[in-house]
Amino acid sequence: MTATLQKKICMLGGFSVGKTSLVKRYVQSVFSETYLTTVGVKIDKKTVDLSDRIVNLILWDLAGEDDINSFRMTNMRGAAGYVLVADGTRPSTLDVALSLRQRVEAEYGPLPFVLLLNKSDLKEQWAIGDAEIAELRQNGRWVRLSSARTGEGVEDAFKDLAVRATS
C-alpha cells in the first residue's frame, strides 16, 4: 500500500472490561476512574518502534459486546490482529471474549491476537484462578494479566501484537 507499515487492530470484549481504558493508557498514558461506555467505534493511531521497523497501529476501540449491542462482525474487516479483553473480576466476561474469538476465527480465519485479563490491580476482587489461566495459555496462546490503571502488561501486549501482525 505505502512505505509505512500500518495495521488495523481491533479491541474486542464484553462491556466495561476496559477496552477504551487500555487504548487510552497505551496511546495517551492516562487513566480515568470514570466509566464511559463506547457507542460505535473510536479509532486511534499509535506508532510503535520495533527497532528494525516502525509500525502504525490503527486501533479500533469497539463498543463492548452484550445483549443490547451485538458485535458487528464487519467492523473486523481489514484487521491484522485483535486484542481480546476480559475483566478478571468478572469471570463471565472471559466467556464473552472466548466466544468472540471463535466467531472472528470462523469469519476471518486465524489472526494474531492477545488475550488480556484486565484489572489485575483489583486483587481483592480477582475471580479467575491460576489453573484456569494456565489452561488458557495452552497451544502457546498469548495470555497476560493487565491493568489500565497501573499500565501492567499494556505496552507488551500491543508490541507483541505489532510484531506478529507485521512478520
Which residues contact other proteins (rule: CB under 8 A)? 1-2, 4, 6-8, 15-16, 35-37, 39-43, 45, 56, 58, 63-64, 66, 68-69, 72, 74-75, 77-80, 90, 92, 127
Which of residues 65 and 84 has its CB atom nearest to other proteins in the complex? 65
Which of residues 111 and 144 has its CB atom nearest to other proteins in the complex? 111
Which residues does residue 56 pair with via DSSP β-bridges, in sequence order? 6, 47
Distance between CA atoms of residues 4 and 19, nearest Å: 26
Q: Which of 40, 38, 78, 43 is nearest to 60 (CA)?
A: 43
Q: Which of 32, 61, 52, 40 is nearest to 158 (CA)?
A: 61
Which of residues 40 and 105 has its CB atom nearest to other proteins in the complex? 40
- Closest separation in Å from C-beta 133 to other proteins: 19
